[in-house]
A and B are shown apart, each in its own frame.
Chain A
């Protein structure tokens, strides 16, 4: 049973929501494992994903034969409640004993299809668990047994929707969003009732006709097919009662033809009232995006000092290559800085703090050389903010692609352009001073025969003076948060693939992280 009061506290013996708490800081007050003893950190247990349908609790409306997809990768952050970990991959949910790594139950979803790219995790309300499937079902399970309670279809797979989001629970609202941009389809966020899964409200990611922001689209046709998928979980300020969410890219993806204008509310950070779904404010990080630079990255809530006085702030390391700081009470822009040197798609940063795109870097027939590539300077893996150092941690790439316009119709469709990746001239883990947006330190990631490798990664900072992440080269690393110096590492055979998390059980602190199809738990040698 999840006591809602847990959601308002720093995570210690529970990790009850995607980011551990509502702030998105991914900072733990635990310090049993600390800079002084981290060298004694050792393996506590491993759990390798069991995807067999035999012995699993089953649900879903698809065929008996599983789809021909490769082994899933753990992108979800496990939730911890009453000593059990709950996590997911596309079509699967597991409950695992947090002390031992033993599987308690496994739920397998018989899928009808959809893009199996990833699943960010589960949400918990009371004794119930919620998750989304690639074929767009909102499913609820009984927390104790993994038995299905009900499922609802929330989007149409035939329109190339697929769902990856981790549900976020605020009060009696289960907040979920849809994904997909292969076709030009509308994006929306929903609140669903935790008891029966019924729709409570829906917020559309593009305006309706008559709203002032509708003027940022040439016509209703473009606006109503304009994308903006809310495909990652957001953050929440209980005092302001605002839910902060980054929206996805507009459609068609790599060309602005047929959608002239800024294309609100795509590529935006928005603040919504979770009780009503009404928007309080928005800040668009990429007006008229033409490079797939959604703003879905975590909006991290920082209670800090800016201009000499305490402020409620919101920071985001955006896929478009910029660090952004806002006042989260009203969306007022405070800071925009460039996070990577290779970035070449902008002309300037305007008075509103938005990068101004250079139209010459829009995909064209003979190709334009763009940095970063469509994967962005960073991506979905959660960053971290440590109040101890005042630093925002994020990993970046400096990749180049050539983008070729392939659909020259005046009404282009889907992506409308092809991308050919050229190379990456430098990935790094960075620490950014949130007040100035300046990079305090930058630690290069690994190198292979083709040059720099690695990039966006899930991060966790702790009061023990540690920053957990990977090195791009298959090692799980504890870095010194003030300097980026590595203090401890473990070779996992693959890069970590989710956000690390931590908890204290029976007086023992664990660090849990996923790498590909395996979940690893570390603790101090006893």
Chain B
């Protein structure tokens, strides 16, 4: 339900939003979970609680999910959890547990870490996505995908499988706009300086034509970046004056978005990943 601009969905491409709707909210610092305590807590959970609550604490036939438990979610460093475990819930068949304060703390650390990583989707780790058939991908490349019109494995795709991780590669297969994300690196140059930016030509009533990368186009204005002169140029628009023609150097990729089957996408990803 979190909505537009709410959550920094990680993009394949660095979208240059030319209108900043809202400054990105700073993220709170990530809590630190002592790895040794997490490990001890996990073992303790598996041996002491797992029979009823499952080895990960996510519940089983006879015991509820501990990571969804309001009691656990409300707990501060094992304080409430320890008080609860000392008594148990005998009416529902849960005996008291005689755990040391350190053991309760380890258990709480494991559970709070599990809750933290379940609730922070920006930290989710994408699994192994290379499940496609690279031969089928190659066939698609040369056949229905008509990728050879612009690309070749020995040419502009040489070594592409070594250049990008599989998720980035899959994203750039779909739409290689701008530069791939480079977390922690310098900010990317403006997208309009990249060859994959939208293009525009503007023809004034006097017949002068200017063309370049599209910076912004609304019903009321058009702005372009002229790479040859390094100049930004803009015009007010009044209906069809000046004449504006927009083209997309990635139009083939955009058209393909509505045609992909997931199988073709996975096969192509496997094929491109093999181009080391």
Q: Please list the residues of chain A having a beta carbon within 8 angstroms of any beta carbon in chain B.
A: 68-71, 73, 115-118, 156, 158-160, 179, 181-185, 221, 225, 229, 231, 248-249, 292, 294, 296, 341-342, 344, 360, 364-369, 371, 373-375, 379-380, 400-402, 404-409, 411, 413-415, 417-423, 425, 446-451, 453, 455-456, 471-475, 477, 486, 489, 491, 493-495, 497, 516
Contacts and interface: CB of A to CB of B under 8 A. Distances in A.
Contacts of A371: 257-258
Nearest to B217: A447
A494 B19 contact: yes
B132 A366 contact: yes
Nearest to B193: A449
B58 A248 contact: no
Contacts of A423: 13, 174-175, 177, 254, 257
Contacts of A70: 22-26
A402 B171 contact: yes
Contacts of A296: 1
Interface in B53-69: 54, 56, 58-59, 64-65, 67-68
A477 B219 CA distance: 10
Nearest to A451: B198
B200 to A, nearest CB: 8
Contacts of A360: 262
Contacts of A413: 58, 67-68, 118
B15 A450 contact: yes
A506 B266 CA distance: 65
Interface in B175-195: 175, 177-178, 190-192, 194
A491 B194 CA distance: 27
B262 A369 contact: yes
Contacts of A474: 18-19, 218
A438 B257 CA distance: 24
A411 B118 CA distance: 12
Nearest to B257: A400
Interface stretch (B3-11, B40-48, B137-145, B146-154): B3-11
B1 A453 contact: no
Interface of B: 1-4, 6-7, 9-13, 15-26, 28, 54, 56, 58-59, 64-65, 67-68, 70, 73-74, 115, 118-121, 124-132, 167, 170-171, 174-175, 177-178, 190-192, 194, 197-198, 213-220, 246, 248, 254, 257-258, 260, 262, 265-266, 269
Given A159-B73, A296-B1, A425-B257, A475 B218 contact: yes
A271 B243 CA distance: 51
Contact of B198 (A249, A407, A449): A449
Contacts of A71: 22-23
Nearest to A113: B28
A491 B220 CA distance: 10
B77 to A, nearest CB: 13
Nearest to A397: B4
Given A447-B246, A450-B15, A495-B19, A231 B25 contact: no
Among all A-B residue pairs, the 6 with the closest Cβ atoms = A70-B23, A473-B218, A413-B118, A182-B119, A449-B197, A414-B118
Nearest to A182: B119
A231 B68 contact: no
A453 B18 contact: yes
A497 B22 CA distance: 9
Contacts of B18: 448-449, 453, 473-474
B10 A420 contact: yes
B198 A421 contact: no
Contacts of A341: 258
Nearest to A232: B1
A486 B194 CA distance: 32
8 contacts: A70-B22, A70-B25, A71-B23, A342-B257, A422-B171, A423-B257, A486-B219, A493-B19
A449 B215 contact: yes
B121 A415 contact: yes
Contacts of A422: 12, 171, 174-175, 257
A417 B54 CA distance: 22
A473 B177 CA distance: 20
Contacts of B171: 402, 420, 422
B16 A411 contact: no
Contacts of A379: 3-4
Contacts of B254: 423, 425, 451
Given A375-B4, A402-B174, A471 B192 contact: no
B12 A420 contact: yes
Given A221-B59, A404-B129, A413-B68, A446 B216 contact: yes
Contact of B218 (A182, A411, A446, A451): A446
Given A365-B127, A451-B198, A453-B18, A292 B1 contact: yes
Given A184-B68, A447-B246, A475-B218, A366 B121 contact: no
B26 A68 contact: yes
Contacts of B7: 117
A421 B59 contact: no
Contacts of A69: 25-26
A285 B23 CA distance: 33
Contacts of B20: 494, 516
A73 B248 contact: no
A376 B26 CA distance: 24
A369 B265 contact: yes
A174 to B, nearest CB: 22
Contact of A182 (B12, B120, B131, B177): B120
Given A369-B262, A446-B217, A486-B219, A418 B121 contact: yes
Given A70-B25, A413-B118, A420-B12, A402 B170 contact: yes
Nearest to B248: A451
A71 B254 CA distance: 35
Contacts of B213: 449
Nearest to A423: B175
A383 B119 CA distance: 31
Given A70-B24, A70-B26, A411 B12 contact: no
A455 B218 CA distance: 14
Nearest to B26: A68
Given A367-B167, A449-B192, 15 more contacts: A182-B121, A248-B1, A368-B262, A379-B4, A380-B3, A405-B127, A407-B124, A408-B127, A422-B175, A425-B254, A446-B216, A449-B213, A450-B198, A473-B218, A474-B18
A253 B234 CA distance: 44
Contacts of A366: 128-132, 262, 266, 269
Contact of A183 (B56, B115, B128): B115
Contact of A417 (B124, B130, B132, B216): B124
Contact of B216 (A231, A402, A419, A448): A448
Given A402-B171, A411-B58, A423-B175, A418 B198 contact: no
Contacts of B257: 342, 369, 371, 400, 422-423, 425
Given A183-B68, A448-B215, A456 B4 contact: yes
Given A115-B2, A406-B127, A160 B262 contact: no
